Amino acid sequence: MTRLSDNQRSIERYRHHAAGYDASAERTMPLRLRTIALLALKPGDVVVDVGAGTGLSYEPLLAQVGATGRVLAFEQSPDMFAHARRRAERLADARLWHVNAPAETVTLPEPADAVLFNYVHDISRTPAAVDNILRQARPGARIAMAGMKFFPWWTGPLNLLAWLKNRPYNARPADLWQPWDRVARHCERFELQATQWGMGYIACGVLRRESAAAPGRQGESA
């Protein structure tokens, strides 16, 4: 039997989640908006929606980047992206650019001022994916993250619950001790708060110069 890569396993999982995703994510909308607020977006900003799923963050992001800003998004699952594409068609907003592509290889059309990692555990645990995204952002870009994490170790069996909740969605569900750390190491002023009684986190920071796009580097069109 051929072993699937993490990317293929994730695509398989989201084949089953895509249809019901928006309904299941509705109750976490306040957390999504809180995470987006950490980006402190300004008119004219270019913001990246990492692993955009069905595009649930498109509208709140577009609302904050003004007439000259842009939202750049990518998503590897064809099933999730089909929903995002329909949402984009409804929005018909020229400020939105999105593509069905994996984080490890996506090329953004221009450098970003802000990057949103909202519940994208498999991406934020993959150094090649994190590096590829962040090297396309400007030095000082604002980064915001949210996701699941394990409870403190001394709560013991409660982490079985965290693992079980994470397993249907992520290729590496046991990797929940510090799921932000591969992004945090690229940031200055990284701040973290626990959410959902300790089973989640929300975080933000500012991209270090050495992790960012080289000065003067222009993005290439996809």
Interacting residues with ligand SAM (CB under 6 A): 7, 10, 14, 25, 51-53, 56-57, 75-77, 80, 102-104, 118-120, 122-123, 129, 169
Distance in angstroms (rounded) separating the CA atoms of residues 151 and 162: 8
- Nearest distance from C-beta of residue 55 to ligand SAM, angstroms: 8
Exposed/middle/buried for residue 74 (C-beta within 10 Å: 0-12, 13-18, 19+): buried
- Nearest distance from C-beta of residue 80 to ligand SAM, angstroms: 4
Q: Whose Cβ is closer to ligand SAM: residue 107's or residue 155's? A: 107
Q: Are 41 and 70 in contact (CB under 8 A)?
A: no
Q: Whose Cβ is closer to ligand SAM: residue 130's or residue 212's? A: 130
Which runs of E-coded beta strand occur in the chain? Answer: 46-49, 70-75, 96-100, 112-118, 137-148, 187-195, 200-207
Q: Whose Cβ is closer to ligand SAM: residue 12's or residue 93's? A: 12
Strand 200-207 vs strand 137-148: parallel, antiparallel, or unpaired? antiparallel
Distance in angstroms (rounded) separating the CA atoms of residues 198 and 152: 8
Within 10 A of 25 (CB to CB), how many other CB atoms are there?
A: 17
Q: Whose Cβ is closer to ligand SAM: residue 54's or residue 159's? A: 54
Q: Whose Cβ is closer to ligand SAM: residue 17's or residue 209's? A: 17
- Nearest distance from C-beta of residue 25 to ligand SAM, angstroms: 5
Two tokens, residue 199 = 């089973």
State the residue number with the nearest CB to ligand SAM. 53
- Nearest distance from C-beta of residue 196 to ligand SAM, angstroms: 14
